[in-house]
Amino acid sequence: MSKHIPPKHIPPKQSPQAIRAEALESILIEKGLLSSEAVDEVITRYSERIGPMNGARLVAKAWVDAEFKKLLLDDATSIVEEFDFEGGQVEKLVVVENTDNVHNAVVCTLCSCYPWAVLGLPPKWYKDPAYRSRIVREPRELLSEMGVKLDDHVEINIWDSSAEIRYMVLPMQPGGSEDLNEEQLASLVTRDSMIGVELLGS
Residues with a catalytic annotation lie at: 108, 111-113
Residues 149, 182: Cα–Cα separation, whole Å:
27
**Contacts (CB under 8 A) with another protein, residues 63-92:** 85-88
Q: Which residues, including other chains, have CB under 8 Å from residue 69's CB and lie 6 or more apart?
A: 61, 62, 63, 97, 170
Residues 24, 19: Cα–Cα separation, whole Å:
9
Taken in order 52, 134, 146, 151, the sign of the CA dihedral is: positive
CB of 143 to another protein, least distance (A): 19
**Contacts (CB under 8 A) with another protein, residues 8-47:** 8-28, 31, 33-35, 38-43, 46-47
One-letter amino acid at 113 equals C
**Contact call for residue 178 and another protein (CB under 8 A):** no
Residue 174: exposure state from Cβ atoms within 10 A (0-12, 13-18, ≥19): middle
- The residue among 9 and 153 lying less far from another protein, judged by its C-beta, is 9
**Contact call for residue 153 and another protein (CB under 8 A):** no
CB of 112 to another protein, least distance (A): 17
What are the residues binding another protein (CB under 8 A)? Answer: 1-3, 5, 8-28, 31, 33-35, 38-43, 46-47, 49-51, 53-54, 85-88, 116-118, 120-121, 183-184, 187-188, 190
